Each structure stands twice: as C-alpha cells, then as structure tokens.
Amino acid sequence: MRVYKYLMSRISQEGAIHLTLIDPDKVNPEEGAEIALAAERAGTAAIMVGGSIGVTEAKLDKLIVEMKRRVKIPIILFPGNITGLSRYADAVWFMSLLNSTSTYYLIEAQALGAPIVKKYGIEPIPMGYIVIEPGEAVGFIGRARPIPIKHPEIAAIYALAAQYLGMKFVYLERGSGAPGPLPPEFVEKVANMVDIPVIVGGGIKEGTVAKNLTKAGAKCIVTGTIVEEVEDVEVKIKEIVKGIREGALERMQNVQR
C-alpha cells in the first residue's frame, strides 16, 4: 500500500498530479534515467514504465535499476502484457482493459501475471483501463472496441463499473501518440460519475491542455511521447506540472463556491 498511499496523499494535498511515462523500447537505460531525473526535478509524482510493443523483462530490469540509482520517486509498471513486469519496480498498475473484446486482456494476462507480482513483491494497484478512439497501438494490440469520442457517457458507465468492482483508479486512454488529447467535457462526464481518481493520458503536450483536463476533473495526467520529442525535458514537464497545479486550484475554488 506504500505507493498507493503516496499517490493518494499527493492527490489530496495537490488536487492532481503528473506522471511521466517512459517506454523501455524507445530509450536506453541511461537516457531513461536522465528523463526520469529531469521529470522528478520538474515535479512529476512518479515514473510509469511500459509500452505495447518490444518490452522484455531484461530491458525493463536494466532501465529500472538505472532509474532507481538516480531518482527517489516511485517507479510504477504499466504493463501491456506479462512481459511488462520487473522485480525492481515499486508498484504495478494491476490493470484490466475493460473494453477489450479479448478475455486475455480482461483477465487472463492478469491471472498469468499475478503469481509473478506476488513472487517479486511488487505492490499491485488495481486499475480499470478504458481505451477511447482512436486508441492507437494499445487499442489495436489490446483488441479494444474503442469508445467513440462522442459518447463520454459510455466511458462513464465503464468507469463506474470499475469503481464498483473495487478498482482504485480508472484510466482514460486516448492512445500514446494520439493526434489530440481527450476533450475536457469528456473527462468531466466521467469524473462526475465516480469517486475514484481519474487518470487521463494520450496526446497531451501542452501545459494549457493539462490545465483544462485537470480543471475538468482529472486527478492524474500522464505524458509520454512529449519527453521523447523535446530537447529540455525538465522545462517541458515544468510547464505541464504548472498547468496541472493551476487546473487543480481552479477546480477546488469552483467546488468551494
């Protein structure tokens, strides 16, 4: 419960947090550790490590060992499959792709992964994962039936089901590298339906976008691709973290009114 409690306490203190996603297939361990360090300095709350393609345990191990030497914030696995587990991580999003048409991504991969999580002593954090169109690589690989962007009410009922199933977070995923982020109204509809924190990711590149999504109710904003594109990771993540802080502040002021 250590990482779960840490995330919840930062969310309750700050209103919303930023998580930096690093794809082990796209960086070498040194680059990954550099990005993690810059992200930590910029105020990201935790590092997520994972991807849909090309992830091996050996690659993950090397990357996470290097990161652990450099940063203090938790490293949370974001597995696309059972190869996405490493004994060196602090926690794992123990997630089910709720709108997958495949029982593998709903529960079979989780069953295969569960004894490994137990053996390695990684903290599982239960999370419902919902893919919204276009869904990008994860939508295709995960055999999702992506939720139409016009129908946030469908995402909202999946999110509520996740909460009733006991999941501690729900993740609205537009897909890594999506051409644009989720609209704030979409996030608002889901956030108004559930009591568990809503994580939002996919296509977020600007502080103003992070601000509007946070204001709409997101409690965690995930960015991945942007750190692979910019020269100064620290400056970019600072911009996004600043946006999240402003959005959280405005949301909390609206609640008090």
Task: State the residues that interact with ligand 1GP by CB under 6 A.
Answer: 21, 173, 176-178, 201-204, 222-226
Smallest distance, ligand 1GP to C-beta of residue 77, A: 13
- The residue (of 230 and 249) whose beta carbon lies closer to ligand 1GP is 230
- The residue (of 116 and 137) whose beta carbon lies closer to ligand 1GP is 137
Smallest distance, ligand 1GP to C-beta of residue 178, A: 6
Question: Half-sphere exposure (CA, 13 Å, Cβ side) for 92?
Answer: 27
* Tokens (6 digits) for 12: 């309750």
- The residue (of 73 and 209) whose beta carbon lies closer to ligand 1GP is 209
* Tokens (6 digits) for 232: 């100064």
- The residue (of 80 and 152) whose beta carbon lies closer to ligand 1GP is 80
Q: What residue number has its CB nearest to ligand 1GP?
A: 201
Give the three-state DSSP class for 123: strand
Smallest distance, ligand 1GP to C-beta of residue 124, A: 18
Report d(CA 85, CA 115) in Å as an integer: 11
Q: Which of 171, 232, 239 has its CA nearest to residue 35?
A: 232
Smallest distance, ligand 1GP to C-beta of residue 112, A: 21
Calculated CA dihedral for residues 100, 101, 103, 109, nearest 10 degrees: -40
